Amino acid sequence: MSPRPHAPEYYEFRIDGHLDHHWSVWLDGLTLTHEADGTTTLRGAGIDQAKLHGLLTKLRDLGAILISVEAIDPPDPYGGRPPQLSPSDAGDPSPR
């Protein structure tokens, strides 16, 4: 089995219950979000297969009930808005 050319690097984990935010450091800097339904969403970047397995082991060691693990698209740095060009990027339309 050969790896995909562009293996996912961004992952989202959902666990049952609200995990304290101080666990973020131990979980390699994952971002923790408490959801209204009583779950915690953990997101992170730069996760290769070795790190993925390590994070799953850490969640298991915490006794967390894993609901899902999903490869996700990288976050949009522009928040859904097109990037704004500065005048120097757009070129100076005035004649010289």
pTM score of the predicted model = 0.72
Place of tokens 């297969």: 49
The predicted pLDDT at position 92 comes to: 53
First to last CA, the chain: 60
Question: Angle at CA 52, nearest 5°, toward 48 and 57?
Answer: 155
Task: Please report, as a single letter, which amino acid is at residue 74.
Answer: P
> pLDDT digit string (tens) for 42-88?
999 999 999 999 999 999 999 999 999 999 988 776 666 666 665 65
